[in-house]
Amino acid sequence: MAAEARTRSLVTVVAALQIGPGADLERILEFEAEIRGASLVVLPEAVLGEYPGRVPFPEYFRAAVAVPGPETRALAGLAARTGASLVVGVIERDGSTLYSTAVFLDPSLGLVAKHRKLVPTERERLFWGRGDGSTLPAVPTAAGLAGAAICWENHMPLLRAAMYAKGVEIWCAPTADDRDVWQASMRHIADEGRCFVISACPYESSGADPFRGGSVIVGPLGDVLAGPLRDGEGLITASIDLGEIVTARKSLDVSGHYARPDVFALTVDERPRDGVTFLR
């Protein structure tokens, strides 16, 4: 579908849902009416499961979700009812380890992929494990070929190069970074990758360290199409045309005519890295 989209104009609506960190499933489902009509909706990092260090660890661990599990099945139902692909930041529990994960829900197929954050940042390292190269998907959606980088993964140049090489058209960035400079990062990635960027950030008005939002949608030349949304929950939307990517990449295709494989090389290991391997 992505290859087809690059040869024709495809206009669709994409969205970012700005909602409080650690929102429960019912709170997300309350936005069903707003989500309906969008082809792709991105939600913040850790929207299911809470950002670390804000509640006691046993409580935090219990709030994490299995992937797949009841919560992802409920999100798949939301995708099916609204017709929207969803990219949702969750705290995934796998055995006794937690991960910051982005799950991909398809309206017809349900849970189709996940991406585990490769490098937790600062205090996150006390709570979260590190993902490996086996969860770096590029997922076909009605809006285009989508990939995800979570929060400060967006500052990893080699990760960006790998995802650009996969042909990502919709760059999904669930985040907890509400700083003004985050907006510059999102605009840079859109311009560098010549892709559409959807970043969803949490919002809350109380607490010792509240999040002030900043969800934004950016076009493939770095132009802001919607947002940044500040000081409230809500849904921002933008109509996008994948045909703009064709025009934008005429002058800059970082994994194509702007690459120098004779000078620079990147190897990406996508094999699962389990702690124990049983050979029989």
How far is CA 59 from each of CA 62, 64, 65, 254, rounded to the nearest angstrom? 5, 9, 12, 44
Tell me the DSSP string of 51-90: -TTSS-HHHHHHH-B-SSSHHHHHHHHHHHHHT-EEEEEE
Asked about 151 being catalytic, the answer comes back as: yes
Q: Per the residue annotation, which of 71, 117, 201, 244 is the catalytic one?
A: 117
Cβ–Cβ under 8 Å, residues 240 and 12: yes
Q: Per the residue annotation, which of 71, 92, 114, 151 is the catalytic one?
A: 151
In which element (H, E) is residue 244 found? helix 243-251
Asked about 114 being catalytic, the answer comes back as: no
Cβ–Cβ under 8 Å, residues 49 and 123: no
CB atoms inside a 10 Å sphere around CB 194: 26
Asked about 172 being catalytic, the answer comes back as: no
Q: Per the residue annotation, which of 45, 71, 124, 233 is the catalytic one?
A: 45
List active site positions. 45, 117, 151
